[in-house]
Amino acid sequence: MRVPFFISFTFLLFIQDGYLFAQEKFTLSGYVKDSTSNETIIGATVTVQGVKKGITANQYGFYSVTLSQARYRILISHIGYETYETELLLDKNTTLTCKLLPRVAQSKEIVINAGKREANIKAAQLGKFEMSMTRIKNVPALAGEVDPMKVLQLLPGVRNAGEGNSGLYVRGGGPDQNLILLDDAIVYNPGHLFGFFSVFNSDALKNVSLIKGGMPAQYGGRISSVVDVVMKDGNSKQFQAEGGIGTISSRLSLQGPLIKEKASFMVSARRTYIDVLVRPFISKTSPFSGSGYFFYDLNAKVNYRFSDKDRVYLSGYFGRDVFNFRNAERSFSTRIPWGNATGTIRWNHVFSSRLFSNTSLIWNDYRFQFEGGQENFKINFNSSVRDLTVKSDFDYYPASGHQLKFGFIFTRHRFNPQTTTGESAGQQFSPQTVNIKYANQLGLYVQDDWEVNEKLQLNYGVRWSLFQQIGPYTKFNRDADGNTKDSLVYTPGKIVQQYNGLEPRVTMRYSLGQTSSFKAGVTRNMQFIHLVTNAGTTLPTDIWVPSTYRVRPQIGWQYSAGYFRNFKDNMWETSIEAYYKTMENQIEYKEGFTPGIGDQEENFVFGKGWSYGVECYLNKARGKWTGWIGYSLSWTWRRFESLNNGNKFPSRYDRRHDLSIVMNYQASERWKLSGVWVYGTGNAFTLPERFFLVEGVLTQQFSSINQYRMPSYHRMDFSAIYTPKKSLNRKWKSEWVFSVYNVYSRQNPYFIYFTQTGSPLQGNLEVEARQVSLFPIIPAVTYNFKF
């Protein structure tokens, strides 16, 4: 009954469309673009003077507003651009494609930003942050590597896992609970160098947005947050090149027209070269000759405009980390490559002035491989996820004040959680425990962004999700000792297990005046794929598993409310938000788990989690001094019947206090200074409390789970950007970035281990806890160029 309800609701929208046309109303529609590059502008605000209801351009820069016949003054604006104004008589359906001019004069900043900066108090969406690439590049970075994911970690409600890690832990959720998209393709592992750098090359990106509260119905499959990353389309007016030479890597991006103002391309590449620089200093006779590490990634995109109604995009990403280690003295070597590959084909089509669609075909592949050997022994470990997705999204504008979205997404999954093979003295072994799993996932949604009146705005919708584990698959029945009693074979396509459910989403905004508003929301989310980890950080050895007859989908309910207020003509933005979130069917490994070659599902235990907290945000939007302060006070708990004697315990993602201060200062036309200071309560972890001897062997008795805390984490970073005076006769632009990571060289804990000295037989045994820290003070210099 649920699917017909969805179809019926969509049908009623089209009936409403015909009714509205009968009322002699006309539609103004078109695209908002950058005048210098022809790139579409996401989220531009279209305001009609005299009509208090406006509209926002969608992800492809398309907008539509329906009004009664009259003469109107139209204002179109976006941060960083001059406001476009025009007057027109709307006596028929009209197309207006607007090209905004980037801001060049700082004195105009107040006028340009005033309208758009009201979005944080006017929109119904809770917990959404849009991060421009200019803003991201101003934040100091580790070794000079600009990293959008690390900038998102500086926002309230978002934390990292520890020193250098690029994983996101949002409102008590784990790293797998974030839907990370790159041009509609899911990114399963967003980190390079075991998470210390993200896979996103800032030169290739147009926009980064984070939604951590009140996820709209158009997004599904995760229960914590959405990170939506959009690549540049490519300049369709002129050829451009930009890049940088840094301490650990270099990058180069090229973009330009294939057919002027009709087709364009963008390609961007990045690679580290520490392995290349160190290689000459390692003797070929050294036992470690051949060891090294590097990562690289490649972004590419092509688009072609067939007509004013049709446009096609082809984009892709390919990235790999490669770690090699060799010890000739012990005849030991290992090679560990891992990474993501994605490909997206998208077709934009304008059916009418009120109906816009995007249809996408998406392929993505994540894989991890371990190859190791010593003398005559070799071992190979593989883990991978491969998806093929088709989705279609529609934007429909039935009347002024309504922006409807509806669509579907279907994904075919192939999971290989773990495959292990080996060879010893010429004898090969391949255990018959390959547990490749297949699944189908379907989502249908409809939502409406409805401006009810001047004070009240609603964003409400519903999503219906279906997940099927399908064959080929063999289900084993085992006795209490783990021995196989019998098995059941499922042929290809046959349903092994099926889950489905509705996910209602509602957020609202109530204006308390021109400068303040109250917002609230409640959402239900279902998650069918899971990252299972035996460590506190996002490592490539963690495995992705689907929901199966053993593993039930995660279900999250989030309730949130907040007060938002702007001051001094929107120069200052402030907010305070409170939330409460429940998480069902959480997964951990059972006590005493050790990795093996069998189906890892047999080692899972299941429980629940919940988190709650308050987040404060203060942002200065313009002036010589800009920046923000974010503070979170939160609690995150877990309870598993078979862990910790059934008692609740703090999650590894629990952090009581989290504070970030980000400041930017435009000292002069040539110098820009930036600083960051972060503080966080130490990670929760489990310690041995007693040591005793059992038959001469030192044995440990551990505390309850996550009973102890590591020392608090804090760090200061600084950067200075110098822009040389530009020659009037040259198109070459450049800048020098001088950065210092961990200015006062704080030795933040990465992990703690125990070492022992002496002998228990002699009575002088001592056990000592030692802390491992990763990064001391790290200065870096980067040279960026553009022409």
Report pLDDT for 758. 76
Say whether pLDDT at 754 is over 80.
Answer: no
Q: Round to whole Å and give the CA distance between 255 and 468.
A: 42
Is 350:374 a contact under the CB 8 Å cutoff? no
Q: Is residue 603 exposed (0-12), middle (13-18) or buried (19+ Cβ within 10 Å)? A: middle
| CA nearest neighbour of 204 among 133, 305, 100, 99 | 133
Amino acid of residue 504: P
Report pLDDT for 213. 82
Report pLDDT for 15. 47
Q: Which structure tokens are listed for 764?
A: 């002088």
Report pLDDT for 106. 39
pLDDT bin (cut points 50, 70, 90) of residue 381 is confident
Is 366:185 a contact under the CB 8 Å cutoff? no
This prediction has a pTM of: 0.89
Q: What is the pLDDT of residues 346-358, one digit of tens each?
A: 999 999 999 999 9
Phi and psi at residue 378, to the nearest 5°: -135, 145
Say whether pLDDT at 206 is over 80.
Answer: yes
| CA nearest neighbour of 297 among 247, 231, 384 | 231
pLDDT bin (cut points 50, 70, 90) of residue 113 is very low
> Kind of pairing, strands 98-100 and 197-198?
unpaired
Say which range, 532-536, 570-574, 600-604, 735-739, has the weakest mean pLDDT: 532-536
Report pLDDT for 540. 54
* Proportion of the chain in helix, strand, coil states, percent, rounded to 5: 10, 55, 35
Which range has the top average pLDDT, 44-53, 577-586, 733-742, 755-764? 577-586
Q: What is the pLDDT of residues 40-55, one digit of tens each?
A: 998 888 888 877 667 8
> Kind of pairing, strands 554-567 and 671-680?
unpaired
Report pLDDT for 492. 92
Is 207:231 a contact under the CB 8 Å cutoff? no
**DSSP secondary structure letters along 124-180:** S-SSEEEE-HHHHHTS--GGG---HHHHHTTSTTEE-SSTT----EETT--GGGEEE
Calculate the average pLDDT of the chain. 85
- How many C-beta atoms surround the C-beta of residue 199 within 10 A? 24
Identify the helix (H) or strand (E) that includes residue 119.
Answer: helix 119-122
Say whether pLDDT at 538 is over 60.
Answer: no
Query: Three-state DSSP class for 490?
Result: strand
CA 381 to chain centre: 27
Is 102:83 a contact under the CB 8 Å cutoff? no
pLDDT bin (cut points 50, 70, 90) of residue 458 is very high
Report pLDDT for 613. 96
Please compute Rg for the chain using Cα positions. Answer: 28
Report pLDDT for 433. 54
Residue range 670-687: mean pLDDT, rounded: 90
Contacts of 536 (CB under 8 A, 6+ apart): 161, 162, 652, 683, 685, 751
Report pLDDT for 4. 46
Identify the helix (H) or strand (E) that includes residue 335.
Answer: strand 332-352
- How many C-beta atoms surround the C-beta of residue 209 within 10 A? 18
CA angle 191, 195, 201 (to 5 degrees): 40
Q: Round to whole Å and give the CA distance between 756 and 204.
A: 50
Say whether pLDDT at 176 is over 80.
Answer: yes
**DSSP secondary structure letters along 527-553:** E-EEEE-SSSS--TTSEEEE--SSSPP
Residue range 694-719: mean pLDDT, rounded: 84
Q: Bridge-partner residues for 774, per DSSP? A: none
* DSSP structural state of residue 192: E
Q: Round to whole Å and give the CA distance between 640 and 649.
A: 9
Contacts of 7 (CB under 8 A, 6+ apart): none
- How many C-beta atoms surround the C-beta of residue 76 within 10 A? 24
Report pLDDT for 164. 57
- How many C-beta atoms surround the C-beta of residue 668 within 10 A? 11
Report pLDDT for 111. 34
Report pLDDT for 601. 80
Which range has the top average pLDDT, 25-39, 189-203, 769-783? 25-39
Q: Could you tell me the CA-to-CA distances from 727 to 238, 346, 731, 732, 785 in Å, in that order?
A: 20, 41, 8, 8, 14
Q: Where are the beta strands (DSSP E) in 21-83?
A: 25-34, 45-48, 55-56, 62-68, 70-77
Q: What percent of the chain has pLDDT over 70?
A: 88
Say whether pLDDT at 332 is over 80.
Answer: no
Q: Round to whole Å and give the CA distance between 447 and 462.
A: 6
Total residues found in the chain within this entry = 787
Residue range 19-34: mean pLDDT, rounded: 76
Sign of CA dihedral 158, 160, 164, 167: negative
Say whether pLDDT at 596 is over 70.
Answer: no
Q: What is the pLDDT of residues 488-506, one digit of tens each?
A: 889 999 999 999 999 999 9
| CA nearest neighbour of 189 among 482, 483, 544, 472 | 544
Amino acid of residue 206: K
Q: Which structure tokens are listed for 326?
A: 């060799």
Q: Round to whole Å and give the CA distance between 552 and 85.
A: 54
Residue range 119-138: mean pLDDT, rounded: 84
> Kind of pairing, strands 185-186 and 310-327?
unpaired
Report pLDDT for 661. 95
Report pLDDT for 8. 52
Q: What is the pLDDT of residues 720-753, one digit of tens each?
A: 999 988 766 678 888 999 999 899 999 888 777 7
Report pLDDT for 478. 74
CA angle 290, 291, 296 (to 5 degrees): 105
Report pLDDT for 372. 83
Say whether pLDDT at 18 is over 90.
Answer: no
Residue range 434-452: mean pLDDT, rounded: 92
CA 458 to chain centre: 25
> Kind of pairing, strands 355-374 and 128-131?
unpaired
* DSSP structural state of residue 448: E
